[in-house]
Amino acid sequence: MILLVDLCIEKDSLSKYEFVHPIADTLERSGFSVEIWHYSELARLMPEKFDKIILCGTALKDNYYAEHINSFFWIKCCSTPVLGICAGMQVIGSVFGGRIVSQQAIGLEAIEIIRASALLGEPRTIEGYHLHNFGVTLPDDFLLLAGCDEHAEAFKHKILPIYGIIFHPEVRNRWILEHFANL
């Protein structure tokens, strides 16, 4: 069972159709079961009981999750694989000591994968859909997988199976979600 964490401004928002449902649909069509919870409800859960956890993205103007980083400190002690998408990557970076910084991108852009990983495969250039006003600096315990120090496109914790990608894999890169689900 994969836990999808909805980071949108409120539970069951209009944005859920756009940032959570496509992730759920992709995984379910690949044969995985998913459960969706809003981040405000996580205190009632034990996220570690799930096989995988994905922190989903939010609308461009929705940065409320950044005011509730305390809700995500459980990630630091989580042995379950975690993938943060866009807002989710910012949350992971912030939890581990990175800084959420102004960094805008809207649309398809080239992404340079610089380090081989189980999530993104071998180094090469792919095209990905971006929709963010903010990015996050690379925390000390993380390796850069794609992009550059000033604009981290993807990272991974040096030891734990915790990943972040700033672009949206549900658009044209659904294979990344399948890779993560199969880790």
Partner 1 sequence: MKLGVLFSGGKDSVFATYRAMQKNQVACLITLISQNPDSYMFHTPNIQRTSLQAEAIGLPLLSWPTLGEKEKELEDLAAAIADARDEYGIQGVVSGAIESVYQAVRTQRICKALDLWCFNPLWQINQVDYLRLLLSEGFQVIITGVFAYPFDASWLGQELTLECICRLEELWKRYKVSPSGEGGELETMVLDGPIFQKRLEILRSSRSYCNFSGRLFIEEMRLVDK
Q: Which stretches of the chain bind partner 1, using CB under 8 A?
A: 12-15, 17-18, 21-22, 25, 29, 59-62, 106-108, 129, 131, 133, 170-171
- Residue whose CB is less far from partner 1, 106 or 143: 106
Q: How far is the CB of 104 from partner 1 (least distance, A)?
A: 8
Residue among 41, 134, 130 nearest 94 (CA): 134
- Residue whose CB is less far from partner 1, 1 or 106: 106
Q: How far is the CB of 61 from partner 1 (least distance, A)?
A: 5
Catalytic residues: 86, 168, 170
- Residue whose CB is less far from partner 1, 138 or 166: 166
Whole-angstrom distance, CA of residue 141 vs CA of residue 98: 10
- Residue whose CB is less far from partner 1, 59 or 144: 59
Residue among 52, 134, 120 nearest 91 (CA): 134
Q: How far is the CB of 172 from partner 1 (least distance, A)?
A: 8
Q: How far is the CB of 64 from partner 1 (least distance, A)?
A: 12
CB burial of residue 100 (10 Å; 0-12, 13-18, 19+)? buried
